[in-house]
A and B are shown apart, each in its own frame.
Chain A
Amino acid sequence: MRLDIEKILNNIEKVMIGKRNVAELSLVALLAEGHVLLEDVPGVGKTMMVRALAKSVNAKFKRIQFTPDLLPSDVTGISIYNPKDMEFQFRPGPLMGNIILADEINRTSPKTQSALLEGMEEGSVTIDGVTHILQKPFFVMATQNPIEYEGTFALPEAQLDRFLLKMKMGYPEIGEEMEVLNRAQKVPPIEDLTPVIDLEGLRAIQTEIKEVYVDSSVKRYIVDIAYGTRHHGSVYLGASPRGSIALMKAAQAYSFMRGRDYVLPDDIQYLAPFVFAHRIILKSEAKFEGITAEEVISRVIARVPVPVQRLVN
């Protein structure tokens, strides 16, 4: 199974140059049955990345481009009257896929946002009183543009909490970008990607990941870090217990990906900024000083001692 994961990553690397860590983290979210919020400017390959991922696991890929006038039904689907049958017929929206790219999620109205987020959280959508269960795996990769604020609706905290990880794509390095140009001259390679695993296999991995062992000393470490964010001087609102659960699940998936069946403090340290950064609110003073949530989290990590001995009960 780990071979499968390696194959997926290699597959993605065929089209995405030099973004292995982003690919890895996306895969972590997918495997941990979470969702990802990508925060970056347009044109750095977010779509490419998700499409590659979807192709690799042979998933149904849908893309929603959020605009201010997008309606919830445009996302979830709508019942339309069919004069022939004399009854309403449900036409599924783009949400009824396996891997969904929700582009520029902060551009649309809160109403539409919440329709998407409900689906992400519940795994189902309710339309006209009928509940439609979404297919599994169900993985949303939402993007948001941090540069433009005009005419955007920032996601509220409670909704940011729905995302397992938040990360940045970043620009490629010079050599990498040249390679991107080289490839762009030919046919887009994405068309040539072949699936390396089917959805059934993916689900099996998801089940297996839940078995990855988390020692109580490591659990304690997670809790200590979460606790640290709640009591840090620059933090207005710290990470919630849901955040702690998210960190543990992400760490399980990450350990699995790294070929281990147990979680190390190293995993926690690596993942904590991605899991916690969007779950805490900084005080305004801290924001004015230019402190970022990631910085706060790394400071918290620097203060929490790593467990190096078994927890004595």
Chain B
Amino acid sequence: MRNQAGERGKTSMQLYAIAFFMLWEWLRPIGKVTETSYLGVFIVFIALSFAGGYFQINKGLKVTIKLLYILGSVYNFYYSGGFFHFNWWNLFFTDLSKNAGFIGSGDWTALSDPFRTILFFTLLWLMVYLLQYWLLNRQRIFVFFLMTIIYITVLDTFTPYNAKWAIVRTVLAGFTVMGILTFSRIINKENVGKDSTSRRKWMIPLAVMLFLSGFVGMIAPKAAPVWPDPVPFLTSLNNKSGDEGNSGGIARIGYGTNDSRLGGPFIPDNSVVFTANTESSHYWKVESKEVYTGKGWTSPRKEARELFNKDEEVPFGRFPGDIKTEKEKVELNMNLLYNHIVYPYGTVKINAGKNVSFEADPVLEKIYSYMPNREPYRATQYSMDVEVPEYKVSALRSITGDEQTVLSPEFMARYTQLPNSLPSRVKRLAQEITAGKENWWDKANAIEDYFDLPDFTYDQKKVAVPGKKDDYVDQFLFKTKRGYCDNFSSSMTVMLRTLGIPARWVKGYAQGEFQKYDSENSNRQVFEVTNNNAHSWVEVYFPGQGWIPFEPTKGFDNSIKLNYEINSHSTNKSEAAPVTIQKKTPKNRLEEMEKNTVKSKAVKKEETALKKATVFIQMQWLKVLLGFLAIGILAYLLYNIRYRWLPHYFIFLFKWRKNDTQFAKAYMVLLKQLERYGLKRRDDQTLRSYAKYVDSFFTSNEMGRLTNRYEQMIYNNSLPKGSWNENRELWENLIKKTIA
């Protein structure tokens, strides 16, 4: 007897240990994949829980220890002051009640960290309980084992977590535990006395087989993956470009500072950035970048910022004297507040209020606003004096590159910089496109026009992320030919640079959507600029003319004023009527996009709700996953103890039913409930003999009486009026017996 108990103890200790290790496998990746830290605390917790189960400690004591441990950990993580001090308890309970409210309102993101920690502890607690149940009561673990494998493989595939050894560990542990369980099931089923020889006969081959198969699996050659690694895509998806200082470059559209890694799809975002009140449409510049890395753009060069205030001129962007300009006043109302200034081409002065001063970064050509106390100022409203330039095409055409001497070598090196890794075919393509063009203007226009070819597709979703060996521009030009502004603008900039034309990459916003004419002054127009208008384009430097914007992106159009000087032969220069034409024929792509989005309001709402949900899931996928897991486990537990709560529900349900036909339903419910209770009716057992069996179990005659009436009903087709009311008491008594 003693020996047997010892034997069982040994087996269950192995089971507990393996269960602990398998659950540990679930925790291991969490530190890698999420921001969870102090994983050790959680691991100790599951170890504690399993130990409590193994040593069969008194239930109340077990619960107390675990609760204390959870409280202690939470206190340790988040609170200070003595553990028994009133203060933190107070904070803690306010936090709990607040979070309960959040849960009620489904506001998952608002949950505080302490509360999340508690939820996580609870989840682990449940898992330990479930594992114990599976292992010791059901003696089945396959589902959990399979789930563990799926979990690890999914994480290995879709996250940076490397699960090579985790898989090996899990497979070994899983098969061992299944082997042990099968053994003990067989022993129980065949009712064989356990002795150590039969155990050894089972365990040794099992261990050998597991070891061998594991070893072979490790060293055997494996086929290469069928799909490319989705990790880069997902990591980039997880980093929103709307945040500053992120390492990826893809996901949510909008203004961001980091462009070192471009590529991948983005999610549209309709939030309004600002509304502009202008006379003409403008591109809104924020900054420019110098260095192309092969993956994206950076600007490592630092130069002292120049200070200026509202009465002083912006220290860059001035046009040479011989370019005609038209004065214009631009007013911006910001919706999303930044401490950088969004400005159109030709901005001379900025006024954001009396005390606001500005700093210009000459490298980025980025303007920051500051309070007098050097605090960054997030302007809500500012106006700008703009001089809109009008370029003479003849002057532009006259630049052929021989003027390079005019430009300093340092300048040329900076703006024709290219990474060594850039494939040479980019340059060959650029030369091909510009073949026969003599001057920079024509060359730039040729390249700009090249992207109008139907080979190129504007797309925000199916956009590739360059792999480790891919060049961002090369991939777009030769492989995918599908992308959005970053692809087009970067490609054009790089191609220009391969030709020795100084060019840089500019970020900001496109014109925005025309809303209405200003009510006070019908010459003025109001534009609304949203995050969807965030844009990038190209600037080319023309000696003597300055930086001129180019727009290679399909469907976008930046009109600059050009003077083709049709009457240039006229002696009276001032009489010469300049023909200002738009550089590009307008594309209707944008309009089409807009049309699509207008549609009906309902559809739009639905779409936005869907988008919101998608964004939410993409941002919080781990939490969503854990949430589903928790719900699943809860549902499973509820299902497992349904014989405890279902009767109450049914008693309540049938209390209000007066119709006699309900009797049949109620009786079937009773049969089901008795089955859950453990009194199963065999299929071939008649109701009468079953009733006898039930009555002998409960030592009553109620089932017999009830069954007699039910038999009358179904086999005699007779249903006396009011019979359900009479029978309900019997029925309720029986149902209650199953709960007692």
Contacts and interface: CB of A to CB of B under 8 A. Distances in A.
Interface of A: 213, 215, 217-218, 260-266, 269, 301-310
Contacts of B682: 302
B684 A305 contact: yes
Interface in B645-703: 664, 668, 671, 681-689
A262 B681 CA distance: 23
Interface stretch (B408-416, B584-592, B714-722): B714-722
Nearest to A261: B716
Given A308-B671, A309-B668, A217 B684 contact: no
Interface residues of B, number: 18
Contacts of B687: 265, 306, 308
A218 B715 contact: yes
Given A264-B711, A266-B689, A306 B684 contact: yes
Contacts of B715: 213, 215, 217-218, 262-265
B686 A265 contact: yes
B684 A264 contact: no
B716 A310 contact: no
B684 A303 contact: yes
A306 B686 contact: yes
Given A213-B716, A215-B714, A217-B715, A264 B668 contact: no
A86 to B, nearest CB: 63
Nearest to B668: A309
A46 B544 CA distance: 134
Contacts of B668: 308-309
A218 B711 CA distance: 11
The 9 closest A-B pairs by CB, nearest first: A262-B716, A305-B683, A266-B686, A265-B686, A302-B684, A215-B715, A266-B688, A306-B686, A262-B715
Interface of B: 664, 668, 671, 681-689, 711-712, 714-717
Nearest to A305: B683
Nearest to B712: A262
| Most central of A261, A265, A304, A305 by chain B CB within 10 Å | A265
Contacts of A302: 682, 684
| Most central of A218, A261, A262 by chain B CB within 10 Å | A262
A153 B682 CA distance: 43
B684 A215 contact: no
A304 B684 contact: yes
B717 A215 contact: yes
A263 B712 CA distance: 10
A217 B715 CA distance: 7
29 contacts: A213-B716, A213-B717, A217-B714, A217-B715, A218-B715, A262-B715, A262-B716, A264-B686, A264-B688, A264-B715, A265-B686, A265-B687, A266-B689, A269-B684, A302-B682, A303-B683, A303-B684, A305-B683, A305-B684, A306-B684, A306-B686, A306-B687, A308-B668, A308-B671, A308-B687, A308-B714, A309-B668, A309-B714, A310-B664
Nearest to B688: A266
Contacts of B717: 213, 215, 262
Contact of A269 (B686, B711, B716): B686
A142 B683 CA distance: 36
A71 to B, nearest CB: 48
A266 B685 CA distance: 9
B714 A310 contact: yes
Nearest to B711: A264
Nearest to B689: A266
B225 to A, nearest CB: 52
A302 B689 CA distance: 14
Nearest to B683: A305
Given A262-B712, A262-B716, A301-B684, 4 more contacts: A265-B715, A304-B684, A305-B683, A310-B664
Contacts of B716: 213, 215, 260-262
A102 B687 CA distance: 39
Contacts of B711: 264
A218 B687 CA distance: 13
A43 B711 CA distance: 42
A310 B667 CA distance: 12
Contacts of A308: 668, 671, 681, 687, 714
A1 to B, nearest CB: 18
A308 B710 CA distance: 9
Contacts of B686: 264-266, 269, 306
B669 to A, nearest CB: 12
B170 to A, nearest CB: 43
A306 B690 CA distance: 11
Contacts of B714: 215, 217, 307-310
B684 A309 contact: no
Contacts of A309: 664, 668, 714
A119 B281 CA distance: 115
A214 B715 CA distance: 7
A308 B712 CA distance: 12
Contacts of A215: 714-717
A215 B684 CA distance: 18
Contacts of B689: 266
A263 B147 CA distance: 53
Contacts of A269: 684, 686
Contacts of B681: 308
Nearest to A301: B684
A238 B33 CA distance: 68
B716 to A, nearest CB: 4
Nearest to A300: B684
Contacts of A261: 716
A123 B442 CA distance: 120
Contacts of A213: 715-717
Nearest to A299: B684
Nearest to B713: A310
A307 B683 CA distance: 9
Nearest to B667: A308
Nearest to B707: A308
B306 to A, nearest CB: 89
A305 B681 CA distance: 11
A229 B366 CA distance: 93
A217 B717 CA distance: 10
B579 to A, nearest CB: 87
B712 to A, nearest CB: 8
Contacts of A262: 712, 715-717
A304 B686 CA distance: 11
